C-alpha cells in the first residue's frame, strides 16, 4: 500500500498541509463569513419577530383590559337601568295599589252606610212590625183583636226584656 510507504510521506504531508491551509483560507474568507452573515440575519429576524410578538401581546393585553373596562361599565349601566325600572315599577304598583285600596275603602264605606241606613229603617219599623205581628197572633190565637195601645206596651216591654238580658 502506498500510504504506508514512508518514502512518499513527506510529499503527502506537504500536499496535506497545502490543501488544509487552502481549505482553511477558503472557509475563513468565503464560507464562514457567509454562514456568520446568515446566522446573524436569522438572529436579527428572530429578535425582530420576538419584539413584534411582544408588541402584539401588549396590544392584545391592552385591548383585553379595555374590553373588560367597557364590559364592567356596560354591566353597571345595565344594573342601574334595571334598578331604575324596578323602582319605577314598584312605585307605579304602589300607587295603583293605593288607588285600588282607596276605591275599595270607598265602596266598603258606601256599603256600610247603605247597611246602616237599611238597619235604621228596619229598626225604625221594628216596633211597627212587631206590633202588627203581635196583633195578628193575638187575633189568631184568641179570636178577637186587642187594643193597639196594649199591644204596643207589651211589645216594648218584651223588647226591653230582650235588651236587658
Average pLDDT over residues 121-133: 78
Residues in the chain: 165
pLDDT per residue over 8-53, tens digit each? 788 888 999 999 999 999 999 999 999 999 999 999 999 999 999 9
pLDDT per residue over 82-112, tens digit each? 999 999 999 999 999 999 999 999 999 999 9
Task: List, in order, residues 6 or more apart from 156 with CB less than 8 Å away.
Answer: 127
Residue pointed to by grid coordinates 396590544: 59
Q: 67-76 burial string, b = 16+ CB within 10 Å, else e?
A: eeeeeeeeee
Whole-angstrom distance, CA of residue 52 vs CA of residue 121:
101
pLDDT per residue over 16-27, tens digit each? 999 999 999 999
Measured from the Cβ of residue 135, the count of other Cβ atoms closer than 10 Å reads: 18
147 by DSSP, 3-state: which?
coil
Give the model's confidence band at 140: pLDDT under 50 very low, under 70 low, under 90 confident, else very high: confident
Secondary structure percentages of the chain, helix, strand, coil, to 5:
95, 0, 5
Phi-psi region of 143 (alpha: psi -120 to 50; beta: other; left: phi over 0): left
Average pLDDT over residues 147-155: 79
Whole-angstrom distance, CA of residue 148 vs CA of residue 154:
10
Amino acid at each position: 500500500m502506498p500510504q504506508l510507504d514512508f518514502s512518499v510521506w513527506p510529499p503527502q504531508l506537504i500536499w496535506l498541509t497545502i490543501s488544509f491551509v487552502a481549505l482553511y483560507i477558503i472557509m475563513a474568507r468565503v464560507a464562514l463569513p457567509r454562514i456568520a452573515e446568515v446566522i446573524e440575519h436569522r438572529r436579527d429576524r428572530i429578535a425582530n419577530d420576538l419584539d413584534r410578538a411582544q408588541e402584539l401581546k401588549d396590544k392584545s393585553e391592552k385591548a383585553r383590559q379595555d374590553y373588560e373596562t367597557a364590559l364592567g361599565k356596560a354591566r353597571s349601566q345595565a344594573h342601574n337601568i334595571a334598578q331604575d325600572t324596578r323602582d319605577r315599577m314598584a312605585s307605579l304598583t304602589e300607587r295603583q295599589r293605593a288607588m285600588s285600596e282607596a276605591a275599595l275603602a270607598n265602596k266598603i264605606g258606601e256599603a256600610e252606610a247603605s247597611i246602616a241606613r237599611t238597619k235604621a229603617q228596619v229598626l225604625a219599623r221594628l216596633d211597627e212590625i212587631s206590633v202588627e205581628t203581635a196583633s195578628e197572633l193575638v187575633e189568631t190565637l184568641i179570636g178577637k183583636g186587642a187594643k193597639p195601645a196594649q199591644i204596643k206596651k207589651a211589645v216594648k216591654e218584651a223588647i226591653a226584656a230582650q235588651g236587658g238580658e
